[in-house]
Amino acid sequence: MLAMNYRGPFRVRAEQKPEPEILHPEDAIVRVLRSCICGSDLHLYHGLVPDTRVGSTFGHEFIGIVETVGSGVQKLKTGDKVLVPFNIACGKCAFCKQELFGNCHESNPEATAVGGIYGYSHTAGGFDGGQAEYVRVPYADVGPVVIPEDMHPDDAVLLTDVVPTGYQAAEMGGIKKGDTVVVFGAGPVGIMAAKCAWLFGAGRVIIIDHLEYRLDFARNYAQCEAYNFRSMEDPVLFLKKTTDWFGADVCIDAVGGDAAGNAMQTITGRKMMLQAGSATALHWAINSVKKGGIVSIVGVYGPTDNLIPIGNVVNKGITIRANQASVKRLLPRLIEHIRSGYIDPKAIISHRIPLEEVADAYHMFSAKLDNCIKPILIPPS
């Protein structure tokens, strides 16, 4: 089959590799209809995530048709059209029982933190992902959901990660009626977080990025204020001024440890002297949230990062909440928000690219070329 193949930092290509097989009675094999590239894949592509092995296939946002099921699978059958949450979860461990599907213990027992994730290095279990013609889906009765008849496939694929992650970012912010919410990062995740912040009663939503085309999109899509940090002397000062010097009630980090190291580099040389790969957005979030406020982190980080202003966390009494999204927990309510028309996930898809051209797709998304917001890869039919 054709699959995306990782060769090393900034080097990926489409290559033939053997089709996956059922390895466990609870597995299914899914023929992929489409898969997205995520900002999280860029951390792998940039070499930020430890133990990302040459030859592995990325892709944790995909939908497809069930091709075969193992002898222990009861709920799925051949021919079902499914969306597959990015978390690989056993459904039975202590974490899954609390619906913390992103922290499943059984799917990745060697890791101390994250559960299994499709196509996300050996630190997330070493599973191959869905940027391929076929993918093995473990615990097939737990994660996959049959796509409702009335749902557009592009909406379905964005329910595997981006929409739940944006929603959970807002939820973890503990937003109260009238709150001012600042979202750092106007990528797919930040845009969804801004859109969802209103659902929790926000009175004001501000998004910060440096890519004008994304800020324009966010302004229209999420009906929020959108500002370019490159045009500011100091984003923290700007946010303090616009909140009567109190700071925001809630700050959301939808950037992560290196999301576009290029963005970080643009501010090196200013007085903050932050380095590429450092936690710039998190630094800004902590310093611009009000005393007693909440910082919600969905941006992904490498195992360590510098420059976290921990003193301010303590002195301001900030609560920090962070996690991988627990996709399955959120699906029922998000399907309703799509049905009602409030969330239109597919509107963020900017590019449809044949899987054969995966190298170009990664380059474009990483370098943010051609006004790229969210690329979808289409395997050969």
- For the CA atoms of 28, 33, 333, 99, the dihedral, rounded to the nearest 10 degrees, stands at 30
Residue 174 · residue 360 · CB < 8 Å = no
Smallest gap from Cβ 210 to ligand NAD, in A, equals 6
186 binds, among Zn ion, ligand NAD, none (CB under 5 to 8 A by kind): ligand NAD
Residues 21-39: b if buried by 16+ CB within 10 A, e if exposed: ebeeebbbbbbbbbbbbbb
- For ligand NAD, give the closer residue by CB, 32 or 226: 226
By CB under 5 A, residue 40 contacts Zn ion: yes
Residue 292 · residue 316 · CB < 8 Å = yes
- For ligand NAD, give the closer residue by CB, 20 or 256: 256
Q: Which two tokens stand for residue 284?
A: 């800004």
Smallest gap from Cβ 162 to Zn ion, in A, equals 6
189 binds, among ligand NAD, Zn ion, none (CB under 5 to 8 A by kind): ligand NAD
- For ligand NAD, give the closer residue by CB, 112 or 340: 112
Distances (CA, A) of 291 to 205, 313, 317: 18, 9, 6
CA distance 71 to 287: 54
Smallest gap from Cβ 194 to ligand NAD, in A, equals 11
Closest CA to 353 of 131, 184, 83, 51: 131
Smallest gap from Cβ 195 to Zn ion, in A, equals 17
- For ligand NAD, give the closer residue by CB, 29 or 251: 251
Region near Zn ion per CB under 5 A, out of 59-67, 119-127, 215-223, 358-366 = 59-67
- For ligand NAD, give the closer residue by CB, 2 or 295: 295
The values of phi and psi at residue 329, to 5°, are -60, -35
Question: Residue 331, SS3?
Answer: helix
Smallest gap from Cβ 79 to ligand NAD, in A, equals 29
By CB under 5 A, residue 35 contacts Zn ion: no
Judged by the rule CB under 6 A, the positions of this chain that interact with ligand NAD are 38-40, 42-43, 161, 165, 184-190, 208-211, 214, 229, 254-256, 259-260, 263-264, 280-281, 298-300, 324-325
The values of phi and psi at residue 341, to 5°, are 90, 0
Q: Binding pattern to Zn ion, positions 153-172, x when CB under 5 A?
A: --------x-----------
Question: Residue 339, SS3?
Answer: helix
- For Zn ion, give the closer residue by CB, 73 or 372: 372
Smallest gap from Cβ 301 to ligand NAD, in A, equals 8
Q: Which two tokens stand for residue 264?
A: 């970080």
By CB under 5 A, residue 87 contacts Zn ion: no
Instruction: Taking the CA atoms of 270, 258, 169 and 315 in sequence, report the sign of the dihedral they define.
Output: negative
Smallest gap from Cβ 45 to Zn ion, in A, equals 13
- For the CA atoms of 342, 346, 349, 355, the dihedral, rounded to the nearest 10 degrees, stands at 160
- For Zn ion, give the closer residue by CB, 123 or 287: 123
CA distance 174 to 176: 6
Give the residues lining the site for Zn ion (CB under 5 A): 38, 40, 61, 161
